[in-house]
Amino acid sequence: MTDPGPAARPAHGRRAARVARAVRRTAATAAVATVVAGQLLAHPAGTPAASAVERPSIDGPVPEGSGLDSGPLRLDGPCRTTAAVLDPTAPPASATAAELADAWIHGRGEGQVVAVIDTGVNPGPRLPRVRGAGDVVPGRDGTEDCDAHGTLVAGVLAGTEDATGHSGIAPGVEIVSIRQSSSVLRAESPGPDGPTVGAGVGTLSTLARSIRAAVDAGAGVINISEVACVPSGTVLADATLGGAIRYAAVDHDVVVVAAAGNVGEACGEQNPPSADPSVPGDDGWDDVLTIASPAWYDDHVLTVGGVDADGAPAEFSLRGPWVDVAAPAVGLRSVGADGAGVSDFVVAGDGSRTPISGTSFAAPFVAGTAALVRQAHPGLTARQVIARIEGTAIPAAGGHDHAIGHGVVDPVAAVTGVRRAGRPAPSTTTIAAPPPDPGPPGAGAGAGVAAGALALGAMALVVVTLLGSRDTGRRDDRHTLAD
């Protein structure tokens, strides 16, 4: 978690620093586009791309209910499937049971309840402990997943050990599944949260209600591998989401873990790698180009960036002063789409394959670690669990930054409280994102522009999903749901 540094900095000093940085960041392109009420507006060339960002508040209203019914929905195309690894004996970037043995000295998460707020979870032989607690589809409970995304997230978190030794971080936990979004479902008619324009369902409003549903279902840890992004300077009306986060993190002592987001989906502009060292007390909030919610709820949400197998920051991982830690996010393995077997690719309806990479899959690595810490140290509060995970992370050679925060999470050290000898500091060299998948015929390039002065209910979430995936349509006044 970052410290609230700018409050102690003189106002005139902050303004002068912002002006100096804005001059250095003057846009080289002719215009920067945003969408306001469905109309494409252009900022004149030379307009600074960043602006001072006011930190989000958790003082908003708590959602009055946890119902997610979005009205009649239809399936728009086949469900996604997964592909098995070509070489199941090759060491995966994600965890093996042998590596986790020391983290399991107190158990594998038994007795812990972890909510996965996502596209649903398909129970199966490797995900035997899944119960539903909410669904945007009328009459369903969250234990179905046509996107495969939520099931893969749950597999990284809690998949039981397979024949190759691959395992989820905390295979003993109970998963509470809430399907609050989907990119393959379509609304038949406008729902209570406003019209659905284009593809997909799921908004910040349904996310807020999902958080309440997760808390009310008894979750001690919540994983959110979804994000809504807007350019800095845009009014992000997510007050109810802030209230839901307070309901979880403060009122009910729940550890809330969120993915940082992937650049190139709706999160179009990468943020600077660190604060300006030439400005005393600078914490980087004045340099933000892209805001990501719920990731930006610093001090109440544990936000997770992505690294490769060697700990190098992933270029696609959205940076920000709110990034707390990082975890593996490239070339991962999980369970299959049916909750069985093993997979390392998702197969779209047109047959195209996308590797399991992205901050979506870094977040459950950390959520599983939080569950292990809560099992081993039941007296710790949610804030203390977060502090322990941050304090035992492997820091970058250059110290705290906005790519991996305090460092790469070490589940063994988080549980035992002892940093293991010989663990190298993560590299500061970023790795490139995989080449983009062409997507289905006629697919758009991904609408990475966002609405200005956006209403909470009309704003859709991006599933922080597989790198290289593409959006299948445009929104007028809401974010896209990535494939």
Q: Which CATH superfamily is domain 73-416 in?
A: Peptidase S8/S53 domain (3.40.50.200)
- Kindly give, in sequence order, each residue whose CB lies less than 8 Å from that of residue 144, ignoring residues fewer than 6 positions away: 120, 122, 135, 137, 179
Is residue 14's pLDDT more than 70? no
Q: What is the pLDDT of residue 23?
A: 33
Is residue 343's pLDDT more than 90? yes
Residue 281: left if φ>0, alpha if ψ -120 to 50, beta else—which one? left
Is residue 171's pLDDT more than 50? yes
Q: What is the pLDDT of residue 92?
A: 66
Q: What is the pLDDT of residue 88?
A: 62
Domain extent listing, the chain: 73-416
Any idea which residues carry the catalytic annotation? 118, 149, 360
Higher pLDDT, 267 or 257: 257
Q: What is the pLDDT of residue 38?
A: 25
Is residue 415's pLDDT more than 80? yes
pTM: 0.80
- Kindly give, in sequence order, each residue whose CB lies less than 8 Å from that of residue 62, ignoring residues fewer than 6 positions away: 212, 240, 243, 244, 246, 247
For 288-443, strand residue ranges (E) read: 290-293, 302-307, 325-328, 345-347, 353-355
Q: How far is CA 384 from CA 215, 302, 418, in A?
A: 19, 12, 16
Is residue 255's pLDDT more than 80? yes
Rounded mean pLDDT, 178-201:
67
Low-confidence winner among 82-91, 218-227, 338-347 (lowest mean pLDDT): 82-91
Q: What is the pLDDT of residue 99?
A: 86
302 pLDDT band, cuts 50/70/90, is very high
**Pairing relation of β-strands 73-75 and 185-187?**
antiparallel
Is residue 351's pLDDT more than 70? yes
Please give the Cα distance from 168 to 159 (Å, whole number). Answer: 4
Q: What is the pLDDT of residue 40?
A: 23
Q: What is the pLDDT of residues 355-410, one digit of tens each?
A: 999 999 999 999 999 999 999 999 999 999 999 999 999 999 888 999 999 999 99
pLDDT above 70 covers a percentage of the chain that reads 71
Q: What is the pLDDT of residues 27-81, one digit of tens each?
A: 322 222 222 222 222 233 333 355 678 899 999 999 987 677 767 788 888 899 9
Please give the Cα distance from 90 to 219 (Å, whole number). Answer: 34
Rounded mean pLDDT, 455-467:
50
Please give the Cα distance from 280 to 1 (Å, whole number). Answer: 19
Q: Judge whether 393 and 354 are in contact, CB under 8 Å.
A: no
Token pair listed for 445: 């390039």
423 pLDDT band, cuts 50/70/90, is low
**Of 263, 344, 307, 340, whose CA–CA distance to 428 is shortest?**
307
- Kindly give, in sequence order, each residue whose CB lies less than 8 Å from that of residue 208, ignoring residues fewer than 6 positions away: 63, 238, 240, 241, 243, 244, 456
CA 56 and chain centroid, separation: 17
Describe the chain by its helix, strand, coil percentages, rounded to 5.
20, 20, 60
Q: What is the pLDDT of residue 277?
A: 73
Higher pLDDT, 255 or 233: 255
Q: What is the pLDDT of residue 430?
A: 44
